[in-house]
A and B are shown apart, each in its own frame.
Chain A
């Protein structure tokens, strides 16, 4: 409540300044708190114990300002707890950019962003931690997995963007080159033996077409995320890790309902190792179909089916299990989700969401250190309240 009041004051101050001197400084932020309950397996803390886990909290604060006619400077600090995910409460710079819109004609806009930019990846990645932009409490974990999220979050570098206005549609593109912030989360998710990953120059790009004001949206996103890979067990064993996802996104928006679907094909490749047995490439795939229904401007219902597969050549995970690396069901996850969202007022929201999951492919290892002690079938119930201004 204190936060809400403080937020309102800050927002009012920003608005007052705006109308007084036409300054363009804006301050915005958000905060969320969730209760996570599971019957088996732990998700974001000890969710399977007692009344559940409160260890899912997000706080973000940003400032932006226009300088002259063509520059925008913007930055956001993010502090987050998600169970035993590595960086609890540690504030991080989510993005910090100088944006220069070099050309703005009626048919064409061209611009460049320099600094830490959010990777344009699928429909949701750029604002994945902002509750008011998500269709539910959790984004589809097949594509927007939280357990190794640092792989796709943001890059330090340069991004070029543009949009071409057509008769009744707009074509957008964005291409960036930079160094991602690959963290421990990606290391532990890649292998229980926690290899050391050191991010290298990577690329990301997206092409999006919005038809008729966004009634139909279609996008193609791709990235090449590169890192140096070194085993912590045998440090002499080193090579390169390449993560290359391609996402096809489709969405239809009507007044009361939206249907969204995204498909991802991802390649994870290890190369350059002295021992050639370590060099390998694994292709995984994911997709989800999501339906949102708006009863009115305050109430929304969500229905989603989400599927992910770690290795296309081993759909049921039996080959993986046969090698003794872990259970077969840790190589896939089928998640049926339904949820209800209540927008109490323009700032506050409350939502509840239920997942029935078969498989543990995106279950955080941070919360479940022993793969063999996980269960194949589990229920996940989330309640979340969020405030934004």
Chain B
């Protein structure tokens, strides 16, 4: 137990701030279940949705937010480049929502493939993926 703790301690000290290379080159896009009627979403609305404050879209469709692990390069790229917030800010927003009764946590999935599957099969599903992985099972939402 102690040994594991010490090893973890040393490992975490050597951890660089950005844990892995960014999901570079490839464009990251917002993906949604095709049942969602709209094709674009304003940035502030998207921020409210991913901060788990806004639970449905203008049409009344309930949303189901999917995310990857905080340390996943794709999550980091999506947070920073699309939402313009740091993963630690999102994490804090979720904790605050969950522990004050004002919102729920997003659904965490294990991989980009699982993300695409989940969004494709969940009415109201919304998430993110690299552009070249987009298929006609999901819709890309442009961010205004």
Contacts and interface: CB of A to CB of B under 8 A. Distances in A.
B32 to A, nearest CB: 14
Given A64-B104, A69-B62, A127-B96, A253 B86 contact: yes
A316 B79 CA distance: 48
Given A26-B105, A118-B101, A295-B17, A126 B96 contact: yes
Interface in B2-27: 5, 8-9, 12-13, 15-17, 19
A253 B99 contact: no
A28 B106 CA distance: 12
Interface stretch (A82-90, A144-152, A166-174): A166-174
A24 to B, nearest CB: 7
A314 to B, nearest CB: 36
Contacts of A253: 86, 89
B84 A212 contact: yes
Nearest to B114: A19
A76 B101 contact: yes
Contacts of B84: 212-213, 215
Interface stretch (A94-102, A233-241, A356-364): A94-102
Contacts of B5: 344
Contacts of B9: 342
B131 interface: no
Contact of A24 (B42, B83, B99, B104): B104
Contact of B57 (A66, A104, A117, A295): A104
A294 interface: yes
A15 interface: yes
Contacts of B43: 168
Nearest to A130: B99
Contacts of A344: 5, 8, 12
Given A69-B62, A213-B85, A253-B86, A296 B12 contact: yes
B64 A22 contact: yes
Contact of A28 (B87, B89, B105): B105
B61 interface: yes
Nearest to B98: A28
Given A24-B104, A126-B96, 18 more contacts: A19-B107, A19-B118, A26-B104, A28-B98, A28-B105, A74-B102, A95-B101, A104-B55, A126-B100, A130-B95, A167-B44, A170-B44, A215-B84, A215-B85, A253-B86, A295-B17, A298-B12, A346-B69
Closest 3 CB pairs of A and B: A165-B44, A74-B101, A213-B85
